Structures are given as C-alpha cells and as structure tokens.
C-alpha cells in the first residue's frame, strides 16, 4: 500500500481560499493574477470561438497547435513537446519511468513538497541539496553534484525557484547538465515560473543537451484552471515512453482546454505583461515592508518567479503568526509546509487589488510580536 503523506501546503491553502467566505487577501498563492475564460478568449484580433469544438479525445502527446504554441514559448522543436495534465502529471510520469530498486532522485531543499512525496510513492528514494539562506538560496552546481550517487536516476532543478525565487543562470545549467550527462543522469529543469525575472532575462533551458524541461500554464502564465502542462525532451526513445505513460495515466487532455491553452500561449505576451505589472508593483511594497520591519522579518529578495520565502528573524515557528494573519484576512503559507518552520511563503503576483492593505496588516502583526 502506498502511503502518501498529508499534503500540508494544499490543506492550508484549501482551508482558507475555498472557505465561505474565502480569504480576503491571498498572499499564499504561487500563481499570477486571475483571468476569466472570456478574457482569454478575447485576446488577439480574432476572439476565440469554442462552439465548434468536438468533445472527443485529443492526441496523447497533445494537439499539434498546442505543441507548436508550447514550442514557440520555449524556443524548442514542436516534435520534442508532450502535453500533460498540469506539470504534476509530467513529474509523475518521469518518476514512474525512473523507478527501479535502489534508485533515487535529487531534489532541492526547500522545494515544492510534491517532488519528494510523489517520488517516494513511486518507490524512489530522495536525496536533497540544500539552498542556504546565508548564500542567498543560490542553487550551486557543486552542491547538486555532491548528492548524485550510483543510484541517481534524475536530478531536479527548479528555476526560478519555488518558494525562494532564486535563479540559476543558463551557463551554470549547461555546466550541470554536462556533468550529469557524463554520469548518465538526466537533468529535469522545472520552469513553471519562466520567464518572470527581476534581473536580466534568461532563455528557457529547452535545447540544452541532457535537459528535460517541464512547465505549465499555472504559474507564470496564471491559468491554473486549464490544467495544462508539458514536457520538452529531445530524447526520442524516452519521449515515446513518456507518451505511452501519458496514454495509460490520463489518455489525453480535453480538446476544449487544449484550444484555450493554445490560444493563451499564442498571446502569452499579454498575459505576461499583466503579470509583470502586478509583480513589479507588489514586490516594491514588499521592499518597503522588509525595510520597515525593524529587523523582525528577513528575506532574500527573489530574482524571479512569484514567491518569496521570508523568515522571522528570532527563529520562532511562523505558523501562529500565519494563523493570526489569516484571522485578519491575509493568507501566507507557513514554512512548516516546506520543512522550514521559521519561514513563510509569500506570493506577490496574484493579488491585483489591496496588496498594499494586506502588507499593512502584516506590518501591524509584526509590530505586535
């Protein structure tokens, strides 16, 4: 019997964001500003008409228009793209294909909690490389390679990183991928927050030898309700196995969702413009919050993505602080959901209105500590 641990992060989010009434200011979310179906369909010169969509199956690898749109977004070959039901299915497929006795994968710590839980459900051990806050949560090639051993079948790099916002430059990704290739280990680059960067923009890792890229519409593209993700893999043999696995897991996506997804990707610049505008204004407000916290709250300013991972400077567990804020209508995610109790995840890209008010409530709660 597979024993999946309780998904503490989703339990916390669901208890508040889906409550009646829902939380007023959701700063725990890791997505961008919300869009309606009508707003997405209206993008471009020719609004999307979905009324002629046949509700049959889609190809297991995804429709050709969707794969072309994904490829254009990453600067990749459409033949290398496999659509999935969110990035979560992409991860599960890769873990399934990597599973064998005594095998392990290497994951970041802190990191997205599902990496470890789902890998272990497939029978894979996990080895973690630590992102140290004293080092700016930098993801270092040597620290990652130090965790690779004879049983390693996959290494995961998440850049921009959830929850810290750190970014590994492309040149270092190339160095890491080449070093892993010499050991026969593929590098999975999770790019769900690409291309939101607060410094120099960075191209996708798609096309780097020995790299598999996974991403989705949920995070930087702000459309989690479309449940559309993908893998980009130049290895034709492994890609065929991925498509077979997708056929077994979910058969295909909905043609309706795939048409919406392809349309959204075709007009990704409009979606990203809105994301960058909201994130830019809100991260400036966080700068002010941190500067005015009188040393009670510390952080490493994110280099990319939609989340930060601040911590209470006195080292106390943040859960009670997050509970106090939730009672005041402001939702943060306590750090124990990521195995780091003094921290909290703070999302700054979904809340288009009232972020300044929410930050004020955080400042008031800090003053009362």
The pair of three-digit structure tokens given for residue 264, joined into one six-digit string: 């959204």
Can you say how many angstroms the Cα of residue 69 is from the centroid of all Cα atoms in its chain? Answer: 20
pLDDT by residue (tens digit) across 80-123?
999 999 999 999 999 999 999 999 999 999 999 999 999 999 99
pLDDT by residue (tens digit) across 2-14?
778 889 999 999 9
Does 94 share its domain with 19? no
pLDDT by residue (tens digit) across 254-284?
999 999 999 999 999 999 999 999 999 999 9
Does 125 share its domain with 231? yes
Number of domains in the chain: 2
Q: What is the pLDDT of residue 126?
A: 97
d(Cα 80, Cα 77) in Å, to the nearest integer?
5
Does 180 share its domain with 261? yes
pLDDT by residue (tens digit) across 169-208?
999 999 999 999 999 999 999 999 999 999 999 999 999 9
Does 238 share its domain with 348? no
């991928």: which residue's tokens? 177
Does 209 share its domain with 351? no
The pair of three-digit structure tokens given for residue 172, joined into one six-digit string: 């270092």
Binned at pLDDT 50, 70 and 90, residue 62 comes out as very high
d(Cα 7, Cα 286) in Å, to the nearest integer?
28
- CATH number of domain containing 174: 3.40.640.10
Does 305 share its domain with 330? yes
Does 312 share its domain with 214? no
pLDDT above 70: residue 1: no
Q: What is the pLDDT of residue 18?
A: 84
Does 242 share its domain with 316? no
Does 122 share its domain with 137? yes
Does 184 share its domain with 195? yes
Q: Is 199 exposed, middle or buried (0-12, 13-18, 19+ CB in 10 A)?
A: exposed
Does 189 share its domain with 159? yes
State whether residue 14 is helix, strand or coil: helix
109 lies in which domain range?
A: 54-267
Q: Does residue 330 lie within any of the structural domains?
A: yes
pLDDT by residue (tens digit) across 294-349?
999 999 999 999 999 999 999 999 999 999 999 999 999 999 999 999 999 999 99
Q: Does residue 217 lie within any of the structural domains?
A: yes
Q: Does residue 218 lie within any of the structural domains?
A: yes
């Amino acid at each position: 019997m597979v024993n999946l641990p309780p998904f503490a992060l989703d339990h916390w989010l669901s208890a508040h964001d889906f409550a009646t009434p829902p939380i007023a200011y959701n700063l725990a979310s890791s997505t961008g500003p919300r869009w309606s179906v009508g707003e997405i369909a209206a993008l471009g010169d020719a609004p999307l008409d979905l009324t002629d969509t046949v509700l049959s199956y889609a190809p297991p690898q995804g429709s050709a228009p969707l794969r072309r749109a994904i490829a254009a977004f990453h600067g990749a070959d459409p033949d290398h793209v496999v659509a999935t039901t969110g990035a979560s299915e992409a991860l599960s497929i890769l873990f399934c294909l990597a599973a064998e006795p005594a095998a392990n994968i290497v994951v970041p710590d802190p990191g997205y909690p599902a990496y470890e839980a789902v890998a272990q459900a497939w029978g894979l051990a996990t080895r973690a490389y630590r992102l140290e806050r004293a080092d700016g949560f930098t993801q270092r090639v040597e620290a990652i390679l130090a965790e690779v051993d004879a049983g390693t079948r996959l290494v995961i790099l998440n850049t921009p990183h959830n929850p810290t916002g750190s970014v590994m430059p492309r040149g270092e990704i190339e160095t890491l991928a080449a070093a892993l290739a010499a050991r026969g280990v593929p590098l999975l680059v999770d790019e769900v927050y690409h291309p939101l960067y607060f410094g120099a923009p960075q191209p996708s890792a798609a096309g780097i030898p020995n790299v598999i890229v996974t991403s989705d519409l949920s995070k930087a593209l702000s459309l989690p309700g479309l449940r559309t993700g993908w893998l980009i893999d130049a290895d034709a043999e492994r890609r065929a196995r991925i498509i077979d696995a997708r056929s077994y897991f979910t058969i295909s996506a909905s043609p309706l969702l795939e048409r919406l997804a392809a349309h959204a990707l075709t007009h990704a610049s409009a979606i990203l413009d809105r994301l960058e505008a909201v994130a830019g204004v809100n991260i400036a407000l966080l700068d002010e919050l941190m500067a005015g916290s009188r040393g009670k709250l510390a952080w490493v300013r994110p280099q990319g993505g939609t989340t930060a991972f601040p911590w209470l400077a006195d080292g106390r567990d943040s859960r009670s602080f997050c509970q106090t804020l939730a009672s005041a209508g402001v939702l943060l995610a306590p750090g124990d959901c990521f195995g780091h109790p003094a921290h909290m995840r703070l999302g700054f890209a979904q809340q288009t209105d009232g972020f300044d008010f929410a930050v004020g409530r955080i400042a008031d709660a800090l003053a009362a500590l």
